[in-house]
Chain A
Amino acid sequence: MTTRTLAVVSAGLSDPSSTRLLADRLTAATVEALRARGEDATVEVVELRGHARDLADNLTSGFANGSLQTAIDTVVGADALIAVTPVFSASYSGLFKTFFDVLDKDALTGKPVLLGATAGTPRHSLVVEHAMRPLFAYLRAVVVPTGVFAAAEDWAGGGVDRSLAGRVERAAGELAGLVSGRPVATRPADPFADPTTSFEELLKGR
């Protein structure tokens, strides 16, 4: 049985946060969907709140400290990523964006990603489409068609919640479908490997 690594990035700030709650539901559903396809999964959760100062430091110093680097390596090396943010001022939170700002621009190329967002009001329900998708398109990640948005009322139970559960399941199924059958994730190319272009070639015509 193949074992997949599932990285989960949650930018929720309270504990427990509805963002983490949504992330957990997406994660559980994805693990379940992978199992149904005959694959196992290891889950690694990165709570960005724990790296708030690390991220600010990275912006000024230009490098990630040890703790942040571990989180980055977890996300970059995973087979798939579930990324969930609360909505702040009609978009992803600054903390969420900062994490993706400090990644190498090629770090998520081709990575299967499931996006989720939470907010106090359903009026932000398109935030996954108008804010998160462009960011991950820039990063050349492969984002599943269903993004999962949950407003306060989605947690209230009853009919609405059942529709959230349906969206979670559909999105998780899409992510599991993307992941299963792919080769297991490999580390990005080592920049310090012997160059593929010889220096003589660089010098040609000079």
Chain B
Amino acid sequence: MQFGIFTVGDVTPDPTTGRAPTEAERVKSLIAIALKAEEVGLDVFAQGQHHNPPFVVSSPTTTLGYIAAKTEKLVLSTSTTLITTTDPVKIAEDFATLQHVADGRVDLMMGRGNTGPVYPWFGKDIRDGIPLAVENYQLLRRLWREDVVNWEGQFRTPLQGFTSTPRPLDGVPPFVWHGSIRSPQIAEQAAYYGDGFFHNHIFWPPEHTERMVEFYRRRFEHYGHGSADQAIVGLGGQVFMRKNSQDAVREFRPYFDKAPVYGGGPSLEEFTSQTPLTVGSPEQVIERTLGFRDYVGDYQRQLFLIDHAGLPLKTVLEQLDILGEEVVPVLRREFAALKPAHVPDAPTHASLVAAAGGGHDSTVHAADDVTGRTVETAAQA
């Protein structure tokens, strides 16, 4: 099982001091958090994509590319990549490039984005959210799998004889997850392709997550990718830990009370009882997290949200230390002991290359405009 962190990349004032980080500080803090994640033994770092304040994550592969160069093992992912408003051609190019930069340590999570005004900035309409996700993702898959694409659809200018470069590393596209909170159509999409399904999980009652995951698993089996319990499931989680649980609650409460995503609603105690948010000791986090399996089954990826609501970088890095030292090693052991042998791990570049019967260079060399000759045919001649 993979463990990691996901960030939305928000710039939020620290409610205890009133100070907001600068964009420069926040961008650098994302990098520091990712490097720390590798240092403490986590597997995955995923970052969001937004194109409006208060976020600093409009260009995910820039940051992820830098992190790739500074890390050895960390899988770089997204949470999420906006498949609705981002040109699929650009996604195909950016993430194939990142695959080469990161030696394959790349996957993506597709999301739609739920902020209406963002869509028109990119010439789109939020009411087309699902059809955009369906069309754009189908095109993205073809761009990665077919050297030359002729394509015409509803939302983008047609493509004639288009080759997306660079081609995917070893001829194997990155693994894709689909994230959705409440749209069965997206779980259906993930199931149709045999892709992973990720439920944000953290702001919702467990029954809600359970139904979405059950639906995805059932449809995964329907489409013939394996049995329902072999579907690839990821969950979000949200924790704040101190050695003593009372200290954790005391320190986190002002962040909870003022955070844009929580403030003014249920109390911290109500929210922790109604959703997966866990504020307490590392032991409490371990117990709660192991309990997720009771309602989604054996799953492949657990990502924690730990750097939001204005929490200072120093605190976030301390949380990563606790995760890496006290929580994840236990979770790794316990989950592994529970998982039946026929349930697969999350796909990685290595496992996908092996499944494809080995890697091959898939470089497409330019053809001469006039003769149609390529480097390859010229070499043979």
Contacts and interface: CB of A to CB of B under 8 A. Distances in A.
Given A61-B266, A195-B185, 10 more contacts: A56-B265, A57-B266, A59-B265, A60-B262, A60-B265, A61-B271, A194-B218, A194-B222, A195-B184, A206-B154
B215 interface: yes
Contacts of B222: 194
B368 interface: no
B139 A57 contact: no
Interface residues of B, number: 31
Interface stretch (A77-85, A108-116, A197-205): A197-205
B118 interface: no
Contacts of B139: 206
B153 A199 contact: no
Q: Among the interface residues B204, B271, B274, which one has the most CB atoms of the partner chain A within 10 A?
A: B274
Closest 4 CB pairs of A and B: A60-B265, A199-B192, A192-B215, A206-B135
Contact of B134 (A61, A62, A202): A202
A203 B271 contact: no
B349 interface: no
Contacts of B229: none
Interface string B75-119: 000000000000000000000000000000000000000000000
B246 interface: no
B184 A191 contact: yes
Given A192-B211, A199-B192, A206-B138, A61 B153 contact: no
Interface string B320-337: 000000000000000000
Nearest to B205: A63
Contacts of B184: 191-192, 195
A56 B267 CA distance: 12
A183 to B, nearest CB: 26
Contacts of A59: 265
B203 A61 contact: yes
Given A206-B139, A206-B153, A60 B264 contact: yes
B153 A65 contact: no
B188 interface: yes
B189 interface: yes
Interface of A: 56-57, 59-63, 65-66, 191-192, 194-195, 199, 202-203, 205-206
Q: Among the interface residues A56, A60, A199, which one has the most CB atoms of the partner chain B within 10 A?
A: A199
Interface string B202-223: 0111001001101100110010
Contact of A192 (B205, B214, B266, B271): B214
Interface of B: 131, 134-135, 138-139, 153-154, 184-185, 188-189, 192, 203-205, 208, 211-212, 214-215, 218-219, 222, 262-266, 270-271, 274
B264 A65 contact: no
Given A59-B265, A194-B219, A65 B274 contact: yes
B103 to A, nearest CB: 33
B276 to A, nearest CB: 13
A61 B212 CA distance: 18
Contacts of A63: 203-205, 208, 274
A62 B203 contact: yes
A57 B265 contact: yes
A57 B269 CA distance: 13
B177 to A, nearest CB: 17
B152 to A, nearest CB: 8
Contacts of A65: 205, 266, 270, 274
Contacts of B270: 57, 65
Contacts of A203: 134, 138
Nearest to B208: A63
Nearest to A62: B203
22 contacts: A56-B265, A59-B265, A60-B262, A60-B263, A61-B262, A61-B265, A61-B274, A62-B203, A63-B208, A63-B274, A191-B184, A192-B184, A192-B212, A194-B218, A194-B222, A195-B188, A202-B131, A206-B134, A206-B135, A206-B138, A206-B139, A206-B154
A205 B153 CA distance: 7
B282 to A, nearest CB: 26
Contacts of A66: 205, 274
B145 to A, nearest CB: 15
